Amino acid sequence: MDLKKLTPGEMTIGVSGVLLLIFSFFNWYDVSIKSVLQEGRGDEATLMIVTHLATEAQQRAARHGVEQLGNVRSVASVVRVESPDK
């Protein structure tokens, strides 16, 4: 997904479409989402996304894409935990 081809208007979308774009980045880089927890609503929403096992490069690429979205204030932290439950 080439963010350089998107206009600023396309990168800043309504809150209802933010999840779709976030999930699209994970899908684009073949990172499977295991679960999502959302606290808060609208502009104050915080997400915790747990993924299935993926390479460090895949995770990093998906994170970079999410960070470029106009409606995402920040990616506060990423914690890599590998579990036997795949």
**Model confidence at 5: pLDDT above 90:** no
Residue 30: the pLDDT is 93
Q: pTM score > 0.75 for this model?
A: no
Tokens of 42: 């609208």
How many percent of the chain have pLDDT more than 90? 17
In terms of Cα–Cα distance, which of 34, 37, 35 is closest to 53?
34
| 75 closest CA partner among 64, 86, 84 | 64
Amino acid 9: pLDDT: 56
Q: 75 or 83, which is more confident?
A: 75
What kind of fold does domain 3-67 have according to CATH? Alpha-Beta Plaits (3.30.70)
Beta pairing partners, 47: 38
- Residue-wise pLDDT tens digits, 44-68: 778 888 888 899 999 999 989 888 8
